[in-house]
Amino acid sequence: MVNLEIARRRLHNQHITRREIETPQALVEWLGAVQAQNFAGAKWALGLRLYGATDNDIEQTFNDGAILRTHVMRPTWHFVSAADIRWLLDLTAPRVRQAMAHYNRVLELDEAVFARTNAVLAETLQGGKQLTRDELADALRQAGIATENGQRVGNIVMRAELDGVICSGARRGKQFTYALLAERAPQATVLARDEALTELTVRYFSSHGPATAQDFAWWSGLTLADAKTGLALAASRLAQETIDGQAYWFSASTPTGPQFTRTAYLLPDYDEYIVGYTDRSAIFDASHASKLDAREGLLANTMALDGQIVGHWKRVFKKNAVVIGASPFVALSSDETRLFADPVNRYAQFLQMPVVSPFEDRSFT
């Protein structure tokens, strides 16, 4: 199994080259979780993997509460299924709380303060209320809790997410709201730790494989020891192959050497195809490192050609259309350029807006 086959298997398992999952919630459950600090980009991450899905479809699923956006795994937002949020938090939140400990001490936030702030937020949101962060900050202030430092408020709200007190509510226009997790996801599954670790291990390697234990530890936020324990627990449900002394794990149902026609995709920033791995050598030629986005690097919007990252792209909303710009790392032939016409059309259908792009019948240098 060489890099090209690793990339092709990942495209297949992540449902990028096959779109067989029917709902956003089922897709998020298949992937385990989807990084989502950029809400618009995360919606497209789901949309490009779902047949015929629109931005409005993903938005409605989110507003209905079938998928939630909360801090889990690594210290950032992820989409998770409402059915999975409890066991995911129980498994991964302790590591995130540990990672945040230093910043909390600087902000004079200790366990006694968090017990108080969690209680205030729970009382404020009780009865189905869905409030913005500013409105929660007002409630904290009225309870005598200092909120002048915006980062302090952010850490208080994040801790309440990690503790399973609050989660995302429906959007109010373009504003995000918070709701009580117990009211938003009353049927959420609870698993014992080993059950949760096994489940997350199987989901990760089934959807992201072939991947390594190190990749899983990075993606999940768990320790490498936990990742190896998870693999031991899930070994009967996974397949393994060693390449250059490194063990790669994947679903036993993954087709060997899946055959694909040439493919091109416009991936959003922080897409799971990139952020889901600590080792990205199978999908990116390091000789192009100097051409990466100066701020986000490989995690910015990327152009994928035959599973390899070959450039960045961006979007600008105009009055009646979305304008796509492209910055390829390599010269693209006219045939390669034409391949990007399909993802542009899919993106236009997703947004339900006209899209203007540079991908015409010509070479792109």
DSSP codes, 15-54: TSS-----SHHHHHHHHS-EE-SSHHHHHHHHHTTSTT--
- 184 with 197, same domain: the answer is no
- 106 with 174, same domain: the answer is yes
15-42 tens-digit pLDDT: 999 889 999 999 999 999 999 999 999 9
Question: What span, in angstroms and rounded, lies between the C-alpha atoms of 187 and 127?
Answer: 17
Q: Lowest-confidence range among 111-115, 263-267, 332-336? A: 332-336
281-320 tens-digit pLDDT: 999 999 999 999 988 999 999 999 999 999 999 999 998 8
Q: Is residue 239 part of a domain?
A: yes
* Domain termination residue (choose one: 137, 153, 188): 188
- 90 with 179, same domain: the answer is yes
* Domain termination residue (choose one: 169, 188, 207): 188
Mean pLDDT across the chain, nearest whole number?
Answer: 94
- 183 with 197, same domain: the answer is no
The pair of structure tokens assigned to 232 is 């031991």
CATH number at residue 228: 1.10.10.10
pLDDT band at 365 (very low <50, low <70, confident <90, very high): very low
Q: What is the arithmetic mean of pLDDT over 161-180?
A: 98
* Domain termination residue (choose one: 160, 188, 216): 188
pTM across the whole model: 0.95
pLDDT score of 362 more than 90:
no
Q: Is residue 95 part of a domain?
A: yes
Domain that holds residue 205: 193-251
Quick one: which H or E segment has residue 308?
strand 308-317
- Give me the number of domains the chain comprises: 2
Q: Is residue 141 part of a domain?
A: yes
What is the residue whose two structure tokens read 């959420």? 188
Question: What span, in angstroms and rounded, lies between the C-alpha atoms of 118 and 103?
Answer: 18
Order of strands, sheet of 264-267, starting from the edge strand that comes earlier in the sequence: 264-267, 302-305, 308-317, 322-328, 355-356
Q: Is residue 343 part of a domain?
A: no
pLDDT score of 361 more than 70:
no
Q: Is residue 99 part of a domain?
A: yes
118-134 tens-digit pLDDT: 999 999 999 999 999 99
pLDDT score of 176 more than 80:
yes
221-246 tens-digit pLDDT: 999 999 999 999 999 999 999 988 89
